[in-house]
Structure 1
Amino acid sequence: MSESSSTLDQAWLARAVVADSPEAIVVTDPQGRIDLWNAGAANMFGYSAEDALGASLDLIIPVKLRDRHWRGYEHTMETGVTKYGDTLLGVPATHQDGRQLSIEFSVALLRDDAGTIVGIAAVMREVSERRATEKALRTKLAEAERTVTALRATVADLTNRVTRPTMSVQGWSEQPCTTTSFDA
């Protein structure tokens, strides 16, 4: 296989991976406008590529998180540094129908030949079901911990109420004796 056909095959392979990935793959320009929106993104967020391309990422960012998102985005564009290149970030996102999604994603900074950042690629996975399961498990664990704490307190209380006679080697009580009217 010649070098040029190898490059062509790699380009086709890259396009096929992006197009057919079940994960959402989204590429944005330095201003945060969407340049690439694969089928995984359409399935995850409900917007077609036609609706998403050229739109702002605000399309999927919950309103209350937008300021924070854009501060981080602009900082990354200015500095060329992101802590999410090799770390998954879990955040809420918004579906087209308005429901909240839980997603995890990592990003890759895209640079031109001069090293200038020309965009960011994000690979996202929806984890709403897993997050709901984890939340339910945390709730059950907290309930179990409260039950164990209450049982320990009950056992401690009962233990303190029980008097245990102590005996010497000879079998006589080591408890102090008191005289009564019958001791005369």
Structure 2
Amino acid sequence: MIREKVKVNVSARTAKEPALFDEQFRLAVEAAPNAMILVDSGGSIVLINSLVERLFGYAREELMGQSIEVLLPEKHRRGHIAFRASFMSDPVARPMGAGRDLYGCHKDGTEIPLEIGLNPLSTTEGMFVLASAIDLRERKLQEERLKESLREKEVLLKEIHHRVKNNLQVIASLLDIQASYSKEPGVKEVFRESRNRVHAMGMIHERLYRSRNLDRIDLGEYLRDMTSDLLDSYGTNRELITLSVIAQPVPVNLDTANCCGLIVHELVSNSLKHAFVHRGHGTITIDIQTRTENDSSPLIVVKVSDDGVGFPENIDFQQAESMGLQLTNTLIDQLQGSIELDAAHGTTFALSFRELQDKERVPAPDGFQPSEQGRHA
């Protein structure tokens, strides 16, 4: 027990300032907002406040003189004795058990999750430790509720992606069926292009459905799979026309992936239809890079290149009348990005943009009015 006067120094050095009266110290401990326990160098409880009684279910007189381990679960008591001895050899104010869960034990045996702070007190009667205990049960309960809410939302998002993917597959199948009724090659080509666009959008939802991250997709992996399927849809001989995707991991959200994917789809389709018509072989390359500028979000640069005949000089791709290039320019507006053409050696389109943030998407104009003119679609 602390008798008469106690000299306190929270830095654990012998106090030189005037002594604090025992009653003043007790009143300060009692008025603390947390459960407070004063323990002597031997680990015996010498002082508690009323919040300790409320937290652990013991009456004050039941705890006075008891070992501090009485407030711990049985399985932790032996280890705590060793910890206590270690702390007393180097008594520095610090939180206890940083990075791991700590538990106390109620009188009825219930384990209580706690946050513990330790403050050494050097007095004329020896070293004491003032421990503060915060009940974490309500916080843990809120955390579990939040985790359960997140699990429910993940299940819902997976179901949404699954249904969207299935609906897009149905649309693609309907386009295939409709194309089978036409004998006109031009009509069949329009249906195939539309079907491929729908498939490109559906692939995003397929990847998100199977991913642990339900709102982000790796752009390089998506473009690699999407363009590979695109080559298959054109019946491309992979020994004659090769596709290479060079990409570092670039995770983007659904809106960004959707716009970028459709743009790349149109550009690769354009290369497959027009770049190698006179020789039947060539290479298409997709190169994805990121650049960090100041404090803004990284700039994503996607280059789509082919070593084919080159883009016609008499066509302004930004004012093109074909549906494919009109769609490309519209999607660039939605991405709030820019695109440049280099036709010096083959054709290279360089698309630059940043990941779309919430409410940044620009609505597409009402419909397209593609002309029958224009060699590039």
Higher RCO by CA contacts (8 Å cutoff, separation 6 or greater): 1
Query: Which amino acid is the alignment partner of residue 59 of structure 1?
Result: V
**Is 1:78–2:71 an aligned residue pair?**
no
Which of the numbers 35, 54, 73 marks the counterpart of 1:43?
A: 54
Hey, what's the Cα distance between the residues in 1 that align with 2:100 and 2:61? 27
TM-score, normalised by the number of residues in structure 1: 0.71
Conserved 8 A contact 1:89-1:105: no
Q: Can you list the C-alpha shifts for 1:125-151, whole angstroms capped at 9, x where unaligned? A: 223223222212212212221221232
Match in the other structure for 1:143: 152
Query: Which amino acid is the alignment partner of residue 110 of structure 2?
Result: R
State the Cα RMSD in Å.
3.3
Hey, what's the Cα distance between the residues in 2 that align with 1:157 and 1:82? 59
| Cα deviation, residue 61, structure 1 | 0.3
> What secondary structure does 2:38 align onto?
strand
Hey, what's the Cα distance between the residues in 2 that align with 1:31 and 1:161? 75
Hey, what's the Cα distance between the residues in 2 that align with 1:75 and 1:8? 28
Conserved 8 A contact 2:44-2:68: yes
**Is 1:97–2:108 an aligned residue pair?**
yes
Against the structure 1 CA distance between its residues 142 and 95, is the aligned structure 2 distance closer, same or farther, given a 3 Å change threshold?
same
Q: Can you list the C-alpha shifts for 1:31-64, whole angstroms capped at 9, x where unaligned? A: 3211112222112112122111111112110112
Conserved 8 A contact 1:89-1:104: no
After TM superposition, the structure 1 stretch with the greater mean CA deviation from structure 2, 16-25 or 49-58, is 16-25
Against the structure 1 CA distance between its residues 68 and 149, is the aligned structure 2 distance closer, same or farther, given a 3 Å change threshold?
farther
Match in the other structure for 1:54: 65
For the pair shown, the structure with the greater C-alpha radius of gyration is: 2
Conserved 8 A contact 1:90-1:102: yes
Match in the other structure for 2:196: none
| Cα deviation, residue 27, structure 1 | 1.1
Conserved 8 A contact 2:35-2:50: yes
Against the structure 1 CA distance between its residues 56 and 24, is the aligned structure 2 distance closer, same or farther, given a 3 Å change threshold?
same
Runs of 4+ in 1 over 3 A off after TM superposition: 7-14, 87-90, 164-167
Specify every segment of 5 or more residues in structure 2 that has no aligned partner in the other structure, as ranges. Answer: 1-17, 180-185, 193-377
Conserved 8 A contact 1:94-1:100: yes
TM-score, normalised by the number of residues in structure 2: 0.38
> What secondary structure does 1:106 align onto?
strand
Hey, what's the Cα distance between the residues in 1 that align with 2:59 and 2:136? 21
Conserved 8 A contact 1:88-1:105: no
Q: Can you list the C-alpha shifts for 1:86-144, whole angstroms capped at 9, x where unaligned? A: x798522111122222222211012247xxx7121111122322322221221221222
Hey, what's the Cα distance between the residues in 2 that align with 1:8 and 1:75? 28
Specify every segment of 5 or more residues in structure 1 that has no aligned partner in the other structure, as ranges. Answer: 1-6, 177-184
